[in-house]
């Protein structure tokens, strides 16, 4: 096309939403680079920076094991009527 100027051959028009433009402008100003470089970095993933993760120090209560008391109830002649025992414990 003979009516095209040299400028038109080097640049392309890209349509974006106004909110996206404002976000791109703010990001480029914060990074101190041009909007084209910022857009290129967003598209190619060049801004994927690692955020240092620091472990949160919270007081965690220590787990304590409490023995379960064994209760034996007998009816007058020493025969066991009721027994509470911990799991896995075997009595004769």
Which tokens sit at 70?
């064994």
Domain range summary for the chain, segments of one domain joined by +: 6-44
Cα separation, 47 vs 49, in Å, equals 6
Q: Are 65 and 50 in contact (CB under 8 A)?
A: no
Query: Looking at the whole model, is its pTM more than 0.75?
Result: no
Sign of the dihedral defined by the CA atoms of residues 73, 77, 78, 83, in that order: negative
Q: Could you tell me how many helices (H) and strands (E) the chain has, helices first? A: 3, 2
At residue 83, the pLDDT reads 60
pLDDT digits (tens, 9 = 90+) for 5-52: 666 666 777 788 999 999 999 989 988 889 988 888 888 887 666 667
Q: pLDDT (tens digit, 9 = 90+) per residue, 46-82?
A: 766 666 778 778 877 777 776 666 655 555 655 555 5
């Amino acid at each position: 096309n003979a009516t095209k100027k040299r400028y038109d051959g080097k640049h392309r028009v890209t349509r974006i939403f106004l909110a996206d433009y404002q976000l791109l402008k703010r990001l480029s100003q914060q990074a101190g680079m041009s909007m084209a470089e910022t857009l290129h970095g967003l598209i190619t993933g060049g801004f994927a920076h690692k955020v240092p993760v620091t472990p949160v120090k919270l007081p965690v209560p220590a787990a304590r094991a409490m023995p379960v008391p064994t209760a034996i109830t007998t009816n007058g002649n020493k025969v066991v009527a009721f027994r509470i025992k911990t799991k896995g414990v075997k009595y004769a």
